[in-house]
Amino acid sequence: MAKEIHNRKIKVTADGSHTFVLPDWKEHYHSVNGAISESRHVFIKNGLAQQAEGLKEYHILEVGFGTGLNALLSLEYGKKKALRLNYLGLEPYPFTLDEVKRLNYPKLVSGGIFSDVFMQMHELPFGKIAEFSKGFTFSKWQIGLDLAPLASSSFHLVYHDAFAPQFQPELWDEEAFYRLYSVLKPGGRLVTYSSKGSVKRALTACGFALKHPAGPTGKREMTVAVKNF
């Protein structure tokens, strides 16, 4: 894996926002139909915005922190709705600061008002916790999902944003989803862009109840998996 992650190239997607591509896998970090629009649709509109009905404080786990785009969009949404967010990103193969500085996300989100926080998230050493912006507590761990010491029933939301199942099947099987089921609070939800048959079957086998809202541009559907009470 580490070898293939080498050599990432930046690319502009259809909505003008950047993504990175892994030439060895021909796999992108986001949809080429629009990185920001995909993330807003999958993780904010069908994730945080749905789960946010009622509560004022949320614990969010992201599997695959990567460029930090989902954290940035969560911060933006949380500010708009006056939510208190506690965000933990897992990322075994982090970007360098030079790579991060090339991304146009801070400029394209809320007119740049979160640019400083975006860089601070990337600069924060792994394992430290910081409140960069009032109501937004952030931490990231340089570790894969399989080894992360996560407490059970501690998250309201999981953003499952791993590379596609054909590249990293171990992040989409029953073992991985059972782990994520157990770290979610009752009623919590896992959201992901994938609606592959094998993914649906593995999620169902772990006890999740599934919904399949329309996907982002270019995808018929996505998956919302809810942990039943």
Ligand X SMILES: C[S@@+](CC[C@H](N)C(=O)[O-])C[C@H]1O[C@@H](n2cnc3c(N)ncnc32)[C@H](O)[C@@H]1O
Report, in Å, the least distance between residue 90 CB and ligand X.
Answer: 4
Angle CA 126–131–137, to nearest 5: 75
- Is residue 207 within the footprint of ligand X (CB under 6 A)? no
Report, in Å, the least distance between residue 228 CB and ligand X.
Answer: 25
Report, in Å, the least distance between residue 161 CB and ligand X.
Answer: 4
**Binding letters toward ligand X, positions 96-135, x by CB under 6 A:** ----------------------------------------
- Is residue 216 within the footprint of ligand X (CB under 6 A)? no
Quickly tell me which residue has 């208190």 as its tokens: 84
| Long-range contacts formed by 30-35: CB under 8 A, 24+ apart | 30/69, 31/193, 31/216, 31/217, 31/218, 31/219, 33/216, 33/217, 33/218, 34/216, 34/217, 35/69
- Is residue 138 within the footprint of ligand X (CB under 6 A)? no
221 strand-pairing partners = 214
84 strand-pairing partners = 57
What is the spatial distance between Cα 36 and Cα 70, in angstroms, rounded to a whole number?
A: 9
- Is residue 192 within the footprint of ligand X (CB under 6 A)? no
- Which residues within the stretch 162-191 sit at the binding site for ligand X (CB under 6 A)? 162-163, 168, 171
Report, in Å, the least distance between residue 146 CB and ligand X.
Answer: 6
Report, in Å, the least distance between residue 144 CB and ligand X.
Answer: 3
Q: Under the rule (CB under 6 A), what is the footprint of ligand X?
A: 29-30, 63-67, 69-70, 90-93, 144-145, 161-163, 168, 171
